[in-house]
Chain A
Amino acid sequence: MKISYYPGCTLKTKAKNMDHPGVAALKALGVELVELPRWNCCGAVFSLADDDLLHLLAPVRDLIRVVEQGDNKLVVACSMCYSTLARANLLMRENSEKRHTINTFMEEELDYNGEVEVVHLLSFLRDEIGWEKIRESIKVPLRGLKIAPYYGCTLLRPQSVAIEPPEKRTLFKDLIETIGATVVDFPASTDCCSSYQILSNPDVGIEAVSKILESAESWDAEAIVTSCPLCEYNLGKRQEDALKKHDKLKELPTFYFTQLLALALGLGTEVCKFELNHNGVIQLMESKKFLTAA
Chain B
Amino acid sequence: MQISFTLNRRPTTVEVEPATLVAELLREQLHLTGTHIGCDTSQCGACVVHLNGLPVKSCTLLAPALDGATLLTIEGLTGAPGSNQMHPMQEAFREHHGLQCGFCTPGMLMTAVALATEKPDLTEADVRHGLEGNICRCTGYQNIVISVMAGAAAMHAAKGE
A and B bound?
Answer: no
Interface residues of A (CB under 8 A from B): none
Interface residues of B (CB under 8 A from A): none
